[in-house]
Structure 1
Amino acid sequence: MTMPTPQAPAPGFPLPAPPESGDGKPGGQLNAKQKTVLGCGGMVALFLIVTMIAAVVSPSKATKPAEAKPAPTVTVTVTATVTVTAPPPVEAKAPEPSPTQEAAPQTAQVPDMTGKSGDLLVEALKTAGFADGYKATSFHDVSGQGRTVLLLKNWKICDQDPKNKAVPLTDKISVGVVKFGESCP
């Protein structure tokens, strides 16, 4: 905002001097108290304007459809008393011990997969009846390098224990492997 530059008065008409207040300031300037009052008043006016705009823009309750109110609920409580007389307790006899056989663990035939890949053994164990062929096995590197056996199709079975034998489904099959292309020890 640019301020207009004062112009020289026309000949014969001097410019009026701004009136001075009692504190030595020109009459057109505001003191701190006047600025505070005007600032607060401006904020109140702004709040009122925003509130009026919001009231005009938002729908009133009168324009909303009436909501159905549920009928009041009535609860009726009926109390009845029933007396039951139990017969005297009867001594229970312990059941006669019967000769029982312990359930034999389920077994499955472990095929000999020597020379084949580890993933084929896992599939064969699933087919034989093991719930999870991978969990039924314990693979280890027998090359002496101590490598971790991860991708079973890349590993050749050198030795397995047991093989060609029926074992309980809870037994672990120990499998010694080397990478394909390597010789079994």
Structure 2
Amino acid sequence: MTAPISAPGHPQQPDGAPAPEAPQAGYPLPPLPEGAPGKPAGQFDAKQKTVLGCGGMVAAFLIVLVIAAAMSPSEAKPAKAAEAKPAPTVTVTVTATVTVTAPPPVAAKAPEPTQEAAPQTAQVPDMTGKSGDLLVEALKTSGFADGYKATSFHDVSGQGRTVLLLTNWKICDQDPKNKTIPITDKISVGVVKFGESCP
């Protein structure tokens, strides 16, 4: 019996069925038909399981990365730091300019020439023949501040006695008399004791 001759590129299997074509480089393997000899229907071969396993691991890794990125505290720290960072201090300097207008200078007023006040004067009455105390009272009435200080009594009897009690002494002469004089001037009065004659 002659063995069947197989066409080039299509090797035949021992049972006479054509052998499957070899896969070309760069193209995926065609899926095996269900019910292929030696493989139950619905199962994957080792290469397909490897591809699926790698894809599942990559997907799981990506999911873990997304969850870790969402829950990572490193991204929350800058936000908290930004919240906790105090606001910068701003210093504002305000310069106020005040303009003060001075009043015009007032010319110094020249002092008015002062006239010396004329010395106060008083009238000296003639009290010849009267007691010395009456002359003192008359001078005070005329305008002298102190009639006793305005007079100078002296004994004209030649005895050189001190004139003490004016009521006991008689005026023989006075200078001036019946005349207006400054109240600062002195009045000279010559006296003797009553009962004695004036010289």
If the length of structure 1 is used for normalisation, what is the TM-score? 0.49
Structure label with greater radius of gyration = 2
